[in-house]
Amino acid sequence: MSPALIVFFVLAGLSVIGALSLILQKHPIHSALSLIVVMVSLAGLYLLLGAEFVAAVQIIVYGGAIMVLFVFVIMLLNASAEEHTNFSKLAKFGGLPLALALTGLLAAAMIHNGGAVPNNPTPDALASTTGISMMLFSTFVYPFELTSFLILVAIIGALVLAQREKKT
Amino acid sequence: MNAVTTFLTQDGGFWVLTLVKIALLLFIVLTVNAYLTWFERKVVALMQSRVGPHRVGPHGLLQPAADGLKFLFKEDVMPGGVDKFVYLLAPFLALTLALASLAVIPFGPNPLPFKFFGHQIDLWITNPDIGLLVLFSVTALGVYGVALAGWASNSKYPLLGGLRSSAQMISYELSMTMSVVGVLLMANSFSLTKIISLQESSKWGLLSWNIFTFHGGCPQIVGFLCFFISAIAETNRVPFDLPEAESELVAGFHTEYSSFKFAMFFIAEYTSMITVSSLCAILFFGGWNSPFPTPWTFTHYIPSLILIPFGLWVIFDGIKYETIFGKLILPGLGTAIAGLGALLLAGIVIAPLHEVNEYIQGPFWLLSKIFFFLFFYVWARGTLPRFRYDQLMNIGWKLLLPVSIANVIITAGFVLFRSAP
């Protein structure tokens, strides 16, 4: 087993454990912390694939900004441990089969393409900051600008909602 | 082969070398941290016409050691009702992240003149292409140490401190990141060594640093001011020390921490001060470049020249003490320092010693700049009152952020204009 593979399994295991703990923890802060573990180990996986820029941005944006906001809101509301309600019937009877179906689908797709997954699927263009910016501002410039526009709309929406609350 | 897989296939010599470098850097940084507290107390005392620590050792120089011992031996109280896991995690997180950011800071341009099992000994632990991004991601995670400490303490003042710190750090991270974009645009790289080497010019000396850029470029003086102010807020220092505000919140987020866990927050804060000071020096003040034009080789003797009067001062100051310090240690130390300075000055005629003088140029200038910014931190603490919370938010969002965005746009326009044929 190559060292890279060992690191992969450590990080993958960490992210799976983090994700499970995110669901199973009773306290919102513990769940948020588990989510941070998932985000950081995903960044590690990106780094392993050679996508340095994406890895750093993953930590800055998801691990830093977004999760800090989550933690901030949980702290601000002083949310305490959640109380478990009875599971909804849909989740009880529909959940497991659907989860199994999804897992089966993913597994089938992986087996189907099994030989085709390259060892290092990141093209060099994606690894460097220059490559990513070239792609963003040439090939994918329209989707990129549209997404920016969407985010702007969301920001204005949030502002409008916040203002309305203030007046009443 | 990408950077990580290359790293994973290194041989044993590389690992040993890296571990030794890490241990050495940790030792140096922790010692500097301890003496930074002494330095801060002395300078603030001077500004307030007091004496400052002067009981333990000459000029109170052993005070940090006494403080460290005290922290170690104090009773470690864990208050009731805390969230144990998060309570213990928070100081570790704060300290680890603060120390981790030092790994990417380059301290000198040239590797040591000998090799370790075929490995070149550079004056940095690692030098990734995304050096600056690594620093920012570590800073982004650094909020958790403070915020979680405040929350886990299960007490109202720490909670308020934690809340304030997370709001403050999110706000100022934006302007901090924005203010360095100008430098990045000119350097076209995230690599710290590349950013430094682009500030070098044989003709202009200190005028070619990113803050002036006489050798072609857009002066980043506005970017620097935005960066430094946001960085002070990011490290929770006066005048932005709202998360601990003694007069309002007892001690803020670390109220419920005692003994060495409190010391860990303290060390984390001082370490991030060092990181920020080195970043200021590297991004805006030429890093290890000398402030003099390259042809002025006689300026290479400045470090040695400083050592001689310093050594003589240590001797004359030392003999005043009637303890073992006055009889033996201080005069001995002073003689050694002055002797070393004289020996290095002999490099004017002796070629190998001249090489040594050349070699210490980079580290000497970088460390002097870092020291200057550390002094600036202390200066601000000694002179400025704390901002009110609404003022803090107004400065961050309504002043620093727009100004740093304007700086990005102007610099981008300049770079575009220059690169256009």
Interface probe, candidates A5, A52, A74, A122, chain B, greatest B C-beta count within 10 A: A52
Given CB atoms, is A27 within the 8 Å cutoff of chain B?
A: yes
Given CB atoms, is A45 within the 8 Å cutoff of chain B?
A: no
Q: Complex ipTM, two decimals?
A: 0.79
Residues of B with CB under 8 A from a CB of A: 2-5, 8-9, 83, 85-86, 89, 128-130, 133-134, 136-137, 139-141, 143-144, 147-148, 150-151, 159, 162-163, 166-167, 169-170, 173, 190
- Nearest CB partner across the interface for B163, out of A2, A36, A75: A75
Structure confidence at residue A127 (pLDDT)? 66
Sign of the four-CA dihedral B42, B234, B252, B242: positive
A120 belongs to a structural domain: no
∠ CA(A40), CA(B143), CA(A21), 5° rounding? 40
Residue B38 and residue A119: Cα distance in Å, rounded? 54
Please report residues of B whose CB lies closer than 8 A to that of A124: none
B170, A72: Cβ pair inside 8 Å?
yes
Please report residues of B whose CB lies closer than 8 A to that of A50: 2-5
The residue with tokens 């990011």 is B234
Task: Name residues of chain B where pLDDT drops below 50.
Answer: none
Structure confidence at residue A2 (pLDDT)? 76
Structure confidence at residue B120 (pLDDT)? 78
A76 belongs to a structural domain: yes
A127, B2: Cβ pair inside 8 Å?
yes
Structure confidence at residue B146 (pLDDT)? 84
Q: Which two tokens stand for residue B110?
A: 């040239």
Domain-terminating residue out of A48, A81, A114: A81
Domain count, chain A: 2
Domains of chain B by residue range: 63-113+128-295+350-419
Q: SS3 string of chain B?
A: CCHHHHHHCCCHHHHHHHHHHHHHHHHHHHHHHHHHHHHHHHHHHHHCCCCCCCCCCHHHCCHHHHHHHHHHHCCCCCCCCCCHHHHHHHHHHHHHHHHHHHHHCCCCCCCCCCEECCEECCCCCCCCCCHHHHHHHHHHHHHHHHHHHHHHCCCHHHHHHHHHHHHHHHHHHHHHHHHHHHHHHHHCCCCHHHHHHCCCCCCCHHHHCCCCCCCCCCCCHHHHHHHHHHHHHHCCCCCCCCCCCHHHHCCHHHCCCCHHHHHHHHHHHHHHHHHHHHHHHHHHCCCCCCCCCCCCHHHHHHHHHHHHHHHHHHHHHHCCCCCHHHHHHHHHHHHHHHHHHHHHHHHHCCHHHHHHHHHHHHHHHHHHHHHHHHHHHHHHHHHCCCCCHHHHHHHHHHHHHHHHHHHHHHHHHHHHHHHCC
Structure confidence at residue A122 (pLDDT)? 52
Structure confidence at residue A150 (pLDDT)? 95
For A86, B37, B68, B241, B246, the CA distances from B45, given in Å and listed in that order, are 63, 12, 21, 19, 19
B91 Cβ neighbours under 8 A, 6+ residues apart: B145, B149, B257, B261, B264, B265, B268
A14 belongs to a structural domain: yes
Given CB atoms, is A75 within the 8 Å cutoff of chain B?
A: yes
Q: Which residue of B has its CA nearest to A59?
A: B137
Domain that residue A164 falls in: 129-168
Q: Which residue of A has its CA nearest to B128?
A: A52
Q: Which residue of B has its CA nearest to A47?
A: B4
Q: What is the CATH number of the domain that holds A2?
A: 1.20.120.1200
**Burial track B96-110 (b if 16+ CB lie within 10 A, e otherwise):** ebbbbbbbbbbbbbe
A106 belongs to a structural domain: no
Given CB atoms, is A118 within the 8 Å cutoff of chain B?
A: no
Do B238 and B118 touch, CB atoms closer than 8 A?
no
Which residue type occupies B221? I
A105 belongs to a structural domain: no
B119 bridge partner residues: B116
Task: Name residues of chain A where pLDDT drops below 50.
Answer: 121
Of B152, B41, B39, B37, which is closest to residue B94 (Cα–Cα)?
A: B152
Structure confidence at residue B333 (pLDDT)? 82
Report pLDDT digits (tens) over B33-47.
Answer: 988 989 998 898 988
